[in-house]
Amino acid sequence: MKKEKITFNIDKEKDFSRWYTEIVQKAELGDIRYNVKGFLVFQPWSVLSMEKMFKHMEKNLQRKGHKPYWFPTLIPEKNFMLESEHVKGFTPSVFWVTEAGDGKLEEKYALRPTSETAFYQMLSLWIRSYKDLPYKTYQRANIFRYETKNTRPFLRSREFHWIETHCAHSSLEDAKKQVKEDMETTKEVLHDIYGLPFIFFERPQWDKFPGAYFTYAADVLNPDGKVVQQPSTHLISQHFSKVFNIKYKDKDEQEKLCFMTCYGPAISRIFASVIIIHGDNKGLVFPWKIAPKQVVIVPISQDKEILKKADELKKQLEEKEIDVEIDSSDKSPGDKFYFWEMKGIPLRIDLGRKEIAKKELTIFRRDLNKKETIKEKDIIEEIDRLAKEYDKNLIKKADSLFNNRIIDVDKKENLKAALESGKIARVGFCSLEMDGAKCAEVVEKDFQATVRGTKLEKEKVSDKINKCPICGKKAKEVVYIARQY
Amino acid sequence: MKKEKITFNIDKEKDFSRWYTEIVQKAELGDIRYNVKGFLVFQPWSVLSMEKMFKHMEKNLQRKGHKPYWFPTLIPEKNFMLESEHVKGFTPSVFWVTEAGDGKLEEKYALRPTSETAFYQMLSLWIRSYKDLPYKTYQRANIFRYETKNTRPFLRSREFHWIETHCAHSSLEDAKKQVKEDMETTKEVLHDIYGLPFIFFERPQWDKFPGAYFTYAADVLNPDGKVVQQPSTHLISQHFSKVFNIKYKDKDEQEKLCFMTCYGPAISRIFASVIIIHGDNKGLVFPWKIAPKQVVIVPISQDKEILKKADELKKQLEEKEIDVEIDSSDKSPGDKFYFWEMKGIPLRIDLGRKEIAKKELTIFRRDLNKKETIKEKDIIEEIDRLAKEYDKNLIKKADSLFNNRIIDVDKKENLKAALESGKIARVGFCSLEMDGAKCAEVVEKDFQATVRGTKLEKEKVSDKINKCPICGKKAKEVVYIARQY
């Protein structure tokens, strides 16, 4: 542990961009000084949390019947070429492996920017009969995209860490069910465990995943009023199963094409949202279940009795699978308090002679930035209670902030003000077919914003927002407009 | 679940190569049909087990103070060029990324064949003072090597999955301690959890990691008498810390160079040894703690009462974190038995009306291929007892097989016979300095075998093996000779 005093105090709402850059550095989440542009070194404090995030997501997927795979990172160029939309959408952002040892390779290999074309050729070998369906897979993987936009740690890196699911179904109906299940998974994990509020949008036709019929994506809102696209789930066109020959023999003995779906929660990018949504002016605030460490014990002095008690408590908590850190460094208690608040550990136990004599524990809660006293003998039950309260608080706070930042906008003039005050605008919109694309272009050019899409359960056009604020035509859809990264 | 009948019966000892190829395919561990040569698709049955293997290894490392990182997969060519031994050793087996999008990149990037040169440049930024040392890191990562030898699933692939630790120390003594700790870790995880017997050898000078002073590596022995190199730990030359400028300010205010160590357990290759060491003629046998599923419940019929009881038992076991599968497919009980024995699940519960009426359970143990009856109400305690006995049996069996296959060899004439009967030869050897390399070359040429090295605790030359079997000179060292993959 370094001895230098660390204080952190940046107004997250007012100075969000600096807040983010500084906290990533001060809390040692990621280091951008690696000598390949756009590539981040993920440091222990983020990796410990993201490992837990992976665990929760994978457990949920496995419970729903997804089986884990590890596919090769390299995908032959020819696999991409099979589906024309996909090749157009992805090849501009592909890193290519062209040499090995001292020589040139006979063909070019992509570093996977996504793995449909890797999974699909194998699914075509594995799937035989209707009995094999649905065939539900996933993999945890590192993904490479040659981003031309500015990169930002965790939010957009040229290498990131995600889970991708790839499923094959016997009917369009089953495929749609899968898309719904993916959205439920997003709610169960991103909202209920990571504490992130979001809206799932059906993206407009002009903003789909290359090669998909429909794309649904969850948008999370940052304090600067920009949305971050989090997991998206896609109903893939049957053209894919055709070119990759993914067929099954149905009950009627006929060979039929499968319907494909995929879902891609990018854990390292979701981590950015966790940091952004829950953090405050003092630094990080981790949700309980994905905190790198959940409890820090700060012995008030180097007194042997205190250190012994700290060890005892640590062991007791670890038996209950709670991750505990003891800070027995030679820093002052005050410095330790600042440091661990900045690092976002949910609960801190301040341990001194007084506490030991009274058989009590003083617990600092990072959610309320407040102390509570509990009886030492009740430590397990009390920590359990506090952890539950803590998560509830975090989720409630995040939800209410989010809901307060959605605003109905009826006129072009009001759109700019809404967006500049960091809000998501709910508007009536002329059309979501390709002819609405023109109004969407105006939104992009004149407002530096994008049409995020419609909610899955389509909303009715109300009197207040019955005209498209761009072209003034009668509104057919309710869409949301926001700025994005 | 496919309905086709699966029987597996290959003599592992006599027909090892076929046994291995077939079991990888039949048990659906990995698929070699992916269209990039030498790259394997890792299937669920191996991934579930390897995820557990990662968990045990990472937990052990974290307990010993290693912090987790995720480094970029790409390493600039210039990083490799800094250390000449390293560049010679690794560049022939490197895949190179040279293009992105539509254009050529300004510099070439290696797909990491190992990550010293990535970690070291960052360690030079992070390490400041003697208080930062030892600096103990690790990462879980996929690794790429352009192997020119034949690839074999899990044993040698062009992409594999490992953990690499990289540590910096203030003294040679501390670095040596780390190497010892790495060996202990290997014992605690590979032997005590994965059930693998091995010997840790100090490799001869001519067979070190490129850029290391000393290399220590664990050899596991296959039934065909070939050894597989498993984790190795290396004491890296200070030339590395010099060229990467990894320095610390000591207590005396002087800047000093760090001593580096690294350790690389290749989980996907260790998985091969798990399969090979424990499997039998009927198929796989997984050690309890790393079995993809630990218990399979086979309902003897589709009777509702039986299926309900199966669900009940599953829930009961899952509460104790035991991984349970219920096979309620329409296969016959016999087919199910064959199938799950081939898949290597440690314990099987055969559940019929008779068992339910008697409140008893029939449990098949894959270690002894034998049935036992237990009382249903004692299921948790009994499964716990059986799991412990099971692992003990597996380890005992593997250890005794291994120990019986080490044989003292005094003469050249006997060496060939020893190696051909699948043994490791323990011999006296002239020298381990570079002048012993000639005899080692003879071993390679005439016997298609290699000198694996000496044990860490050097053994004394006994009367029986007091001469080098190759040159006939007086033996100075006791070394081991074996064939290898």
Nearest CA in chain B to A39: B72
Please determine, for residue B390, whether its predicted confidence score (pLDDT) is greater than 80. yes
Cα(B161)–Cα(B114) distance, integer angstroms: 11
Question: Given B31, B74, B148, which is nearest A122 (Cβ)?
Answer: B31
Residue A465: name the closest of A406, A410, A412, A407 by CA.
A410
Instruction: Say how many domains are in chain B.
Output: 3
Residue A410 and residue A371 in one domain:
no
Does residue B51 lie within any of the structural domains? yes
Model confidence pLDDT, tens digit, residues A115-160: 999 999 999 999 999 999 999 999 999 999 999 888 999 999 999 9
Q: How far is CA B129 from CA A6, A226, B37, B117, in A?
A: 17, 41, 47, 21
Among the candidates A278, A309, A336, a domain finishes at A278
Q: How confident is the model at residue A16 (pLDDT cuts 50, 70, 90)?
A: very high
Measure in Å the smallest separation between the Cα of B74 and chain A Cα atoms.
7
Same domain for B218 and B360? no
Q: Does residue A5 register a pLDDT over 90?
A: no
Cα B318 from chain centre:
28
Each residue of A384-431: pLDDT tens digit? Answer: 999 999 999 999 999 999 999 999 999 999 999 999 999 999 999 999
B234 Rama class: left (phi>0) / alpha (psi -120 to 50) / beta = beta
| Cα angle, residue B283 at apex, residues B277 and B285 outer, rounded to 5° | 50
pLDDT of residue B419: 95
Q: Which residue of B has its CA nearest to A28?
A: B126
Q: What is the pLDDT of residue A434?
A: 79
User: Which CATH number does the domain housing residue A410 bear?
Assistant: 3.30.110.30
Q: What is the C-alpha to C-alpha distance for residues B398 and A150, in angstroms, rounded to an integer? A: 55
pLDDT reported for residue A454:
95
Q: Quick one: pLDDT at residue B2?
A: 47
Give the residue from B359, B388, B417 where a domain finishes: B388
Domain that holds residue A473: 406-484
Percent of chain B scoring above 70 in pLDDT: 99
Q: Say which CATH number the domain at B349 has.
A: 3.40.50.800
3-class SS at B99? strand
Same domain, B192 and B335: no
pLDDT at A84: 79
Domain assignment present for A323? yes
pLDDT score recorded for residue A1: 45
User: Is the preceding peptide bond at A134 cis, omega within 30 degrees of 0?
Assistant: yes
Q: Write the single-letter amino acid at A280.
A: D
Q: 């890296």: which residue's tokens?
A: B236
* Residue that has been written with the tokens 């190179």 in this structure: B96
Q: Same domain for A90 and A188? A: yes
Confirm or reject contact between A359 and chain B (CB < 8 A). Answer: no
Q: Can you tell me the distance from the alpha carbon of B326 to that of B348, in angstroms, rounded to the nearest whole number?
A: 10
Find out whether B144 and B111 touch, Cβ atoms under 8 Å.
yes
| pLDDT for residue A6 | 60
Pairing mode, if any, of strands B212-221 and B199-202? antiparallel
Q: Pick the more confident residue, A344 or A210.
A: A344
Cβ atoms within 10 A of the Cβ of B394, count? 22
**Nearest Cα residue to A147 out of A307, A60, A37, A241:** A37
> Any bridge partners for residue B370, and if so which?
B365
- Which residues have C-beta within 8 Å of that of residue A354, sequence separation ≥ 6? none
Q: Is A160 on the interface with B (CB under 8 A)?
A: no
| Residues A44, B1: C-beta atoms closer than 8 Å | no
- Cα–Cα distance, A427 to A137 (Å, whole number): 38
Whether residues B117 and B227 share a domain: the answer is yes
Q: How far apart are alpha carbons B51 and B241 in whole angstroms?
A: 33
- pLDDT over 60 (residue B3): no
Find chain B residues with C-beta within 8 A of A53's C-beta: none
**Is residue B54 less than 8 Å (CB to CB) from chain A?**
no
Higher pLDDT: B279 or A91? It is B279
Write the pLDDT tens digit of every residue in B301-351. Answer: 999 999 999 999 999 999 999 999 999 999 999 999 999 999 999 999 999
The answer to whether residue B395 sits within a structural domain is: no
Q: How confident is the model at residue A337 (pLDDT cuts 50, 70, 90)?
A: very high
Distance of CA A259 to the CA centre of its chain: 26
Q: Does B131 touch chain A (CB under 8 A)?
A: yes
Task: Look at A41 and B122 and tell me if their CB atoms are within 8 Å.
Answer: yes
Query: Which pLDDT score, from 0 to 100, does residue B456 have?
Result: 83
Average pLDDT, rounded, for chain A: 94
What is the structure's pLDDT at B288?
98
- Please provide the DSSP assignment of B367-416 as one string: TTTEEEEEEGGGHHHHHHHHHHHHHHHHHHHHHHHHHTTEEE--SHHHHH
Q: Shortest CB distance from A92 goes to which of B35, B69, B102?
A: B102
Q: Is the pLDDT of residue A324 over 60?
A: yes
Residue (of A425, A428, A435) closest to A484 by Cα position: A425
**B112 lies in the same domain as B46:** yes
Pair (B459, B376) in one structural domain = no
User: Of B251, B278, B305, which marks where a domain is finished?
Assistant: B278
- Confidence class for position B239, pLDDT limits 50, 70, 90: confident
Task: Decide if A34 and B91 are in contact by the 8 Å CB cutoff.
Answer: no
Which phi and psi (to 5°) does residue B226 adopt? -100, 140
- Identify the CA nearest to A100 among candidates B106, B97, B102, B83: B97
CA distance A378 to chain B (A): 24
Question: Could you tell me if A171 and A66 lie in one domain?
Answer: yes
Q: pLDDT value at position B20?
A: 97
The mean pLDDT value for A59-78 works out to 97
CA A56 centroid distance within chain: 12
Tokens of A221: 């809102």
Where on the phi/psi map is residue A283: left (φ > 0), alpha (ψ -120 to 50), or beta?
left
CA atoms within 13 A on the CB side of A304: 0
Cα distances (angstroms) measured from residue B48 to each of A62, A123, B29, B165, B293: 10, 19, 10, 23, 8
CATH number at residue A160: 3.30.930.10
| Judgement on whether residues A332 and A413 belong to the same structural domain of the protein | no
- Residues contacting B398, CB < 8 A, separation 6+: B195, B196, B197, B277, B278
- In 3-state terms, what secondary structure has residue A467? strand
Q: Does some domain include residue A286?
A: no
Instruction: Using a CB–CB cutoff of 8 Å, tell me whether A81 touches chain B.
Output: no
The answer to whether the Cα torsion of B237, B140, B179, B252 is positive or negative is positive
pLDDT in tens, A19-28: 999 999 999 9
Cα of A270 to nearest chain B Cα, Å? 16
Cα distances from B479 to residues B337, B411, B460, in angstroms, run 45, 14, 10
Q: Please check whether residue B9 lies inside any domain of the structure.
A: no
Which of A35, A72, A148 lies closest to B36 in CB terms?
A72
- The whole-number pLDDT of residue A209 equals 81
Q: For position A190, what pLDDT does the model report?
A: 97
Whether residues A68 and B91 touch (CB distance < 8 A) is answered with no
Q: How many CB pairs under 8 A join A and B?
A: 151
Q: From CA A274, how far away is CA B256, in angstroms rounded? A: 40
Residue A101 near residue A222 (C-beta atoms within 8 A): no
Closest by CA to B277, choosing from B226, B331, B319, is B226
Read off the pLDDT of residues B159-184 as tens digits, 9 standing for 90 and up. Answer: 999 999 999 999 999 999 999 999 99
Residue B1 scores a pLDDT above 50: no
Residue B49 lies in a domain: yes
Distance CA B137, CA B116 (A): 11
Reported as half-sphere exposure (CB side, CA atoms, 13 A), residue B351 has a value of 27
Q: How far apart are CA A314 and CA A296, in angstroms?
A: 9
Chain A residues in contact with B109 by the CB 8 A cut-off are 36
Q: Are residues B319 and B250 in the same domain?
A: no
Q: Is B267's Cβ below 8 Å from some Cβ in A?
A: no
Q: Is the per-residue pLDDT at B6 higher than 70?
A: no
Write down how long chain A is.
Answer: 485
Task: Give the mean model confidence (pLDDT) for residues A196-212.
Answer: 89
CA B39 to chain centre: 18
Residue A456 to residue A216: CA distance in whole angstroms = 8
Tens of pLDDT, residue by residue over A149-192, are 889 999 999 999 999 999 999 999 999 999 999 999 999 999 99
Distance CA A65, CA A132 (A): 12
Q: Does A321 touch chain B (CB under 8 A)?
A: no
Q: Are A158 and A37 contacting, i.e. CB atoms less than 8 angstroms apart?
A: yes
Give the whole-angstrom CA distance, residue B24 versus residue B32.
10
Interval B191-220 mean pLDDT: 91
Residue A4 pLDDT exceeds 80: no
Interchain contact A31–B (C-beta under 8 A): yes
Tell me if A5 is assigned to some domain: no
Q: Which residue, chain included where needed, has tokens 């809102």?
A: A221
In a domain, B8, yes or no: no
Q: CA A16, A17, A20 angle in degrees (round to 5)?
A: 85
- The chain A residue lying nearest B126, using CA atoms, is A31
% of residues, chain B, pLDDT over 90: 88
Chain B: residue whose CA lies nearest to A59: B48
Query: CB distance from B401 to chain A under 8 Å?
Result: no
Domain identity same for A309 and A369:
yes
Task: Give the model confidence (pLDDT) of B73-99 as tens digits.
Answer: 999 999 988 887 888 888 889 999 999
Instruction: Express as a percent the part of chain A with pLDDT over 90.
Output: 88
Q: Is the pLDDT of residue B211 over 90?
A: no
**pTM (whole model) above 0.90:** yes
Q: How confident is the model at residue A485 (pLDDT cuts 50, 70, 90)?
A: confident
DSSP secondary structure, B20-62, as one string: HHHHHHHTT-EETTSSSTT--EEPHHHHHHHHHHHHHHHHHHH
Which residue do the tokens 């000078």 mark? B205
* A457-465, long-range: CB < 8 A, 24+ apart: A461/A428, A462/A408, A464/A408, A464/A410, A465/A408, A465/A409, A465/A410, A465/A426, A465/A427, A465/A428
Q: Does the CA dihedral B222-B228-B231-B236 come out positive or negative? A: positive
Which residues make beta-bridge pairs with B220? B228
Of B95, B109, B118, the CB nearest to A100: B95
B298 burial type by CB count under 10 A (0-12 exposed, 13-18 middle, 19+ buried):
buried
Statement to judge: residues A41 and A105 lie in one domain: yes
Q: Which helix (H) or strand (E) holds B143?
A: strand B135-144
